[in-house]
Structure 1
Amino acid sequence: MLSLPALQQEVYQEFLRIFQYWETHTVDPRGGFYGRIDADNQPDSKADKAIVLNARILWAFSLAYRVTRKPDYRTLADRAYQFIKTYFWDKKNGGVYWSVKADGSPSVTKKQLYGQGFALYGLSEYYRATKMPQVLDDAKQLFQTLVEKAYDPKQGGFIEAFNEDWSQTEDYILSKGEERKSMNTHLHLIEPFTNLYRVWPDPELKKHVRSMLENDFMGHIINPESYHMRLFFTEDWQVKSTEISYGHDVEASWLLYETAEVLNEKGLLSKVKELSLKMATATLEGLNPDGALTYEFDPASGHKNEDRSWWVLSEQMVGYFNAYQLSGKQHFLEKSQQSWAFIKEHLIDYNDGEWFEKTDAHHQPSRKADKVNAWKCPYHNSRACYEIWHRMQVKK
């Protein structure tokens, strides 16, 4: 294993290298950032631009600026913010569009809660970095819109998607049919709500953060027997899926503990610490001898997705390091380091920059996969590098 100082130095250098790629290759001279860049770093000037990608870019460059105070990062965070406010922000109905065309005109105008969550994550981090009052106002407005339009006061949690005007829809992207609530959307709502609470300790916001943690995750989403998360639900929380997503399980194991830390309630923190360790431990069944988690497994059908994914490796590096910090158990530190070793050997593209999206079970990278698209972004990998670096900074 690397010494911890050596690990800290390596992840920080990779943190900077990731942003060098995004500075160099992704800025669209017409405004904002390209919606797609192929495996050869060639931009697709006609590709739609997704709120998930643009909000994650805003979050990432805001984080980078907050950590380094490098002016170039502030410039790119400003660029992302201005593009979102100009083209994604629905001034009539509230919230943000799912995607816009390459020229910024609306493309998919539905209100997908997953995308709203990332817009809020980006805004809250941008405010942490800049302290601009208008940005906090934007974040508050978006939060209040989500509560007003999408919160389910009867059953708790948030409905998955709506039409442009927030009327009911059956058209879902991340879930389908009667599956009106999902683990993934709730995970990426509690994440920005928590980040917003850091800078705006509003009582209603706290109520929703606490409710998502205790009622939605601990009451419905996390299986109390297996400590895996259930993925899809009806409006009244009937489970409609059997798959296990190891990457989301390990990601939630540290994100939910982070939420409990920010809420700073002793009893809740103790409860979530125990839960976090059980969730991290439960993922070990999906850990392969090469140090990478299996992407997904369905015990009902036996189907297993053996891809080694860039985002899963990122999250397991943090999740296992968090479990090491909470438990003191050396094997978690070793598994975090094994994650980093896999990333260095198989996922980082040392020739053309950024990371490959995935490898197969034999470690062959997806060399034809996009470097940038609606889902391939600087969020999971830069955050993982930051988290490991920061956790060791705090310990000093």
Structure 2
Amino acid sequence: MTSELKNLKIELRLELQNILEYWMNHTIDSKNGGFIGQIDFENHKNDDADKGAVLNARILWAFSAAYHLSKNEEHKNTARRAFEYIKNYFLDPEHGGIFWSLHFDSTPKDTKNQIYALGFVIYGMAEYYSISKSEEALTIAIQLYKKIEAYSFDPINKGYLEAFTRDWKLIDDLRLSDKDANEKKTMNTHLHIVEGYANLYKVWKDETLRQTIIELLTTIETYFINTENGHLRLFFDENWIEKPDVISYGHDIEAAWLLLQCAEIIGDTTLVAKYKKHAIQIAEVTKEGIDTDGGLWYEYDPETQQLMAEKHSWPQAELMIGYYNAWQLSENQDYLDIVFHNWSFVKKHIIDHENGEWFWGVNSDYSTMQKDKAGFWKCPYHNSRACIELIHRI
């Protein structure tokens, strides 16, 4: 497999370069600052679109992480642009949180503190600190971590609550998006809090933070991983009463490798051993979501037995890392074959070879999904991370 892996690495390096060039060439907002809030599937820019905190935090992370590999000063400059924009416009100078969204002219729009967004800003700031040694970036990351611990952490039942008002009061609508259940504790937010915390720990070896990560990984294992079937549980109330929902194949396989990586970063051998087992079990059950063309379906509803017959781009990226990780752990050739097959699917159906970047996804008939190329949720994060992770691992 050596030659095939070498070829995959070459292709991923080129694709990473293409992804980053797309964002540098098409999304810089020279009029209002930062980055344009939306580009549609036909590459039409919407200069008046709202700007999302998650998009900007993920841009910050992607260009910072890529710089480690590329040593391209344009990548570092783009990361700096994202850092300055988040610091100057998304960071709440009064209450110390992160605005969920801004108007196109950089004025605050939705000022709620969605903990998911704070987790991503921590993730991005820590990565930016690692390439810039900006004490401002590290300070912002630490302050946001302390805000989450002060307001979102549930000291009685453990875990983290979803969202708050700008001044950290309780809020009625906790949802990340319209498709999510309005519940107080979610798998998605816990996954990305621990991701942000672990990235912060890489650059700030604080023992309290380490113990917090240990507890968080233990909480995730206790409540969110269904060890009976290997899938993730997605939604709970504050007392850990589950609100059954769909199986999300992309989140399953993302968690499989990412949670293990977090355990490895803090060096907890007990958790590493547990999450190695989870990584294999989750990879095994996620096979049920892989189509014969190598693509990963989006979601399955066990109650109605209905498959959401779409193949979104981000689960493909996570599949590549998750199954490469499973192959590294087990040396089971089937897992590596899944990676190669999926990459062929991505090249054929997901990458926009004409205009650059990845489409949102394809429908069951391979028609392009008519959703953002860049936007509130469509970011250079999953796809660039898949490239970066596999380049490092190969």
**TM-score band w.r.t. shorter chain:** over 0.9
Range that drifts further, 266-275 or 245-254 = 266-275
Counterpart selection for 1:183 from 158, 181, 187: 187
Q: TM-score, normalised by structure 1?
A: 0.96
What SS is found at the alignment partner of 2:109?
strand
1:48 touches 1:101 (CA, 8 Å); kept in 2? yes
Q: TM-score, normalised by structure 2?
A: 0.97
List per-residue Cα deviations over 1:96-142 (Å, max 9, x = no partner): 01000011100000011111111111101111111112211111111
Matches within 5 A, 1:231-250: 231-250=234-253
Whole-Å Cα distance in 1 between the matches of residues 372 and 226 of structure 2?
Answer: 35
List per-residue Cα deviations over 1:195-249 (Å, max 9, x = no partner): 111111111111111111112x110001120110011000011110231001000
- Partner of residue 25, structure 1: 26
2:210 is aligned with 1:206? yes
Whole-Å Cα distance in 2 between the matches of residues 267 and 164 of structure 1?
Answer: 38
- Partner of residue 372, structure 2: 370
- Partner of residue 390, structure 2: 388
Give the RMSD, CA atoms, in angstroms.
Answer: 1.2
What SS is found at the alignment partner of 2:38?
coil
Matches within 5 A, 1:142-153: 142-153=144-155
- Partner of residue 308, structure 2: 305
The runs of 4+ residues in structure 1 deviating greater than 6 Å are: none
How many angstroms does 1:53 deviate by? 0.5
How many angstroms does 1:260 deviate by? 1.4
1:95 touches 1:146 (CA, 8 Å); kept in 2? no
- Partner of residue 123, structure 1: 125
List per-residue Cα deviations over 1:349-386 (Å, max 9, x = no partner): 111111111001122222x3221110011000010011
Tell me, which stretches of 5 or more residues in structure 1 are unaligned? Answer: none
Whole-Å Cα distance in 2 between the matches of residues 281 and 45 of structure 1?
Answer: 44
* Aligned residue identity for 1:13: L
1:260 touches 1:272 (CA, 8 Å); kept in 2? yes
Matches within 5 A, 1:5-16: 5-16=6-17
- Partner of residue 76, structure 2: 74
* Aligned residue identity for 1:212: L
Whole-Å Cα distance in 2 between the matches of residues 224 and 274 of structure 1?
Answer: 10
- Partner of residue 280, structure 1: 283
List per-residue Cα deviations over 1:30-54 (Å, max 9, x = no partner): 2100000122322211110000101
What SS is found at the alignment partner of 1:249?
helix
Matches within 5 A, 1:159-170: 159-170=161-172
2:295 touches 2:346 (CA, 8 Å); kept in 1? no
- Partner of residue 260, structure 1: 263
- Partner of residue 197, structure 1: 201
Whole-Å Cα distance in 1 between the matches of residues 204 and 273 of structure 2?
Answer: 24
Percent of aligned pairs sharing the same letter: 43
- Partner of residue 110, structure 1: 112
How many angstroms does 1:68 deviate by? 1.4
* Aligned residue identity for 2:337: E
- Partner of residue 230, structure 1: 233
2:345 is aligned with 1:338? no
Whole-Å Cα distance in 2 between the matches of residues 138 and 265 of structure 1?
Answer: 26
* Aligned residue identity for 2:314: W
2:224 touches 2:233 (CA, 8 Å); kept in 1? yes
Whole-Å Cα distance in 2 between the matches of residues 293 and 21 of structure 1?
Answer: 25
2:112 touches 2:164 (CA, 8 Å); kept in 1? yes
How many angstroms does 1:176 deviate by? 4.3
How many angstroms does 1:270 deviate by? 1.5
Counterpart selection for 2:354 from 351, 372, 375: 351
- Partner of residue 379, structure 1: 381
List per-residue Cα deviations over 1:170-206 (Å, max 9, x = no partner): 11222444x1010011111111111111111111111
Whole-Å Cα distance in 2 between the matches of residues 10 and 139 of structure 1?
Answer: 34
